Amino acid sequence: MSSLLIGVAGGTASGKTTLARILKESFQDNVTILKHDYYYHDRSHFKVADHKINFDHPDSFETELLVKHLEELKNGRSIKRPLYSYKTNERLKQTKLVKPAPIVIVEGILIFHYQSLKDLLDLKIYVDTDADIRLLRRISRDIKERDRTFESVKAQYLRTVKPMHQKFVEPTKYQADIIIPHGGLNEIANDLIIKKIKDHLDQ
């Protein structure tokens, strides 16, 4: 059986990681998760506080490498994925071995932007959460987990995150097979996706 590739897109802090985690908890070793964020270009020479970097533009990622890795996984071969630090904006020297699995979830704000990536996906899910909720979540998360200050989150949001969302992320919503409102813990939507995955595993 070839792997089922599921793409989970949506704005920052919409609940992509939360959905991927719920699917992983349900299907354990049957699920492998790859984040587009692992493939950010190295920007360790900048500090986010400089507000110089645009992390929300499609060119910020090494998407060709992600596409290559997804093809490898789909063909049953392991890959060594990059490791990335949001704290230092750095692609680390080490890599992590990822084994193929029946379900591969790839998640990221911009994954439906690239035709080559979209073509690989068997199911495209867009997690749709209101911008004010996402911003509130992002402020808490970035301060707690990504070593940011309120001022830096605010400046980055206004300078790049919001305009890039409007220009590049939001339009990809209409590329999705399923749009999940109130992303993160939408139980009905999550149950429907779990059912779809079960059907694939039972084939």
Ligand X SMILES: Nc1ccn([C@@H]2O[C@H](COP(=O)(O)O)[C@@H](O)[C@H]2O)c(=O)n1
Ligand Y SMILES: Nc1ncnc2c1ncn2[C@@H]1O[C@H](COP(=O)(O)OP(=O)(O)O)[C@@H](O)[C@H]1O
- Interface ranges with ligand X (CB under 6 A): 12-13, 16, 37, 40, 48, 55-56, 86, 89, 109, 161
Instruction: Single out the residue of 57, 189, 200, 58 nearest to residue 118, CA to CA.
Output: 58
Instruction: Give the integer Cα–Cα distance in Å for 127 and 108.
Output: 10
Name the binder of 15 from ligand Y, ligand X, none, CB < 5-8 A by kind.
ligand Y
Q: Does 17 bind ligand Y (CB under 6 A)?
A: yes
Among residues 49, 158, 185, 201, the one that binds ligand Y under rule CB under 6 A? 185
Among 9, 13, 22, 153, binds ligand Y (CB under 6 A): 13
In one-letter notation, the amino acid at residue 88 is T
SS3 101: coil
Q: Does 190 bind ligand Y (CB under 6 A)?
A: no
Could you tell which of ligand Y, ligand X, none binds residue 40, using a CB distance below 5 to 8 A set by kind? Answer: ligand X
Name the segment binding ligand Y (CB under 6 A); options: 12-20, 43-51, 116-124, 146-154. Answer: 12-20
Among 53, 184, 189, 197, the residue binding ligand Y under the rule CB under 6 A is: 184
Number of residues this chain uses to bind ligand Y (CB under 6 A): 12
Whole-number Å distance between alpha carbons of 89 and 108: 16
For strand 103-107 and strand 123-128, is the pairing parallel, antiparallel, or unpaired? unpaired
Q: Which stretch binds ligand Y (CB under 6 A): 16-24, 56-64, 67-75, 168-176?
A: 16-24
Binding span for ligand Y by CB under 6 A among 15-23, 65-73, 113-121, 152-160? 15-23
Q: Using CB distances below 5 to 8 A depending on partner kind, what does residue 86 bind out of ligand Y, ligand X, none?
A: ligand X
Burial of 113 (0-12, 13-18, 19+ CB in 10 A): buried
